[in-house]
Amino acid sequence: MSSTAKVAVCSRSFSKNTILRAELMARYQQVTFNDAGLQLKGDSLVEFLSGHDKAITALETIDEAVLSRLPELKVISKYGVGLDMIDMVAMRAHGKRLGWTGGVNRRSVSELVISFAIAMLRHVPAAHREVLSGTWRQHVGGHLTGRTVGIIGCGHIGKDLVPLLQAFDCPILVNDVRDYPDFYAAHNVEPVSLETLLVRSDIVTLHVPLDESTRGMLDAHRLTMLKPTAVLINVARGELVDEAALKQMLQNKRLAAAAFDVFAVEPPPDQELLALPNFLVTPHIGGSAHEAVLAMGRAAIDGLDHNQIPGTEVD
């Protein structure tokens, strides 16, 4: 039976998905989709959400300035897993309810990490560019098999990545503010300090949320701890890494390669960084597999009905 509540869908990819549209419309009679493909923020976001009881949001910034102007909005359900765009203090202050499910896109992100690691170890982006420019020469790369991988953040995605890497016989180091002794023991994973992970790993991959404790965690000093032969992968959030320091290290061959799906500003304005032959860039596609889109969308639909006012335990 469908509900009479009015729902606004901010997400462009959700709005384009015919399966998700049909499943949402089966539950709710009155839905406003972002069919114009608008990038909603500030006044345009408030205008889009105005008059609705519930909303599905993705990368839109939901803060005090927005929530204070939407008294009728009762529920925000998150399409995707990152909560850094939602001000939890403002949500609590205005009594707004949050629908959220962690880890629904984990396999999509994990497989992208594997593809990044192999591509950079085998110099795929650089070789591709050379062939297009008329140069035909072999690049001698290395195996992912047997290389030490450091996973920063052992939540849903970090845990999903472990068995995929073990198929390549990779020794695995992890760093996390939380302890998962049973998981570590079951999968022969070694928990270490962040500094130890950076020094020992051949490949470092980031899987932490963005908050004040993680913002800028890989600053210029910590980046210098990486091996010159290492590959750095970021499919989490752009502001975790000092992009200017990263560019300098890649230019000076102090770091072999990096592959980023996320940036502090998207799209990233630093064309010099993007043009480096040892840098691979994708436009925030970590969760953009068909299977992940459906999983995230269905979790967001479910979150419209199953939600709570966020407490301090939400992170």
- Known catalytic residues? 237, 266, 284
Which amino acid is residue 300, in one-letter code?
A
Element (H, E) at 183: helix 181-187
**Residues 110, 102: Cα–Cα separation, whole Å:** 14
User: Around Cβ 118, how many Cβ atoms within 10 Å?
Assistant: 17
**Residues 268, 56: Cα–Cα separation, whole Å:** 26
**Residues 208, 82: Cα–Cα separation, whole Å:** 10
Q: Kindly report the backbone phi and psi dihedral angles of residue 292, in degrees, each rounded to the nearest multiple of 5, phi listed first.
A: -70, -40
HSE (CB half, 13 Å, CA atoms) of 80?
25
**Closest by alpha carbon to 232, among 215, 208, 249?**
249
**Residues 45, 282: Cα–Cα separation, whole Å:** 26
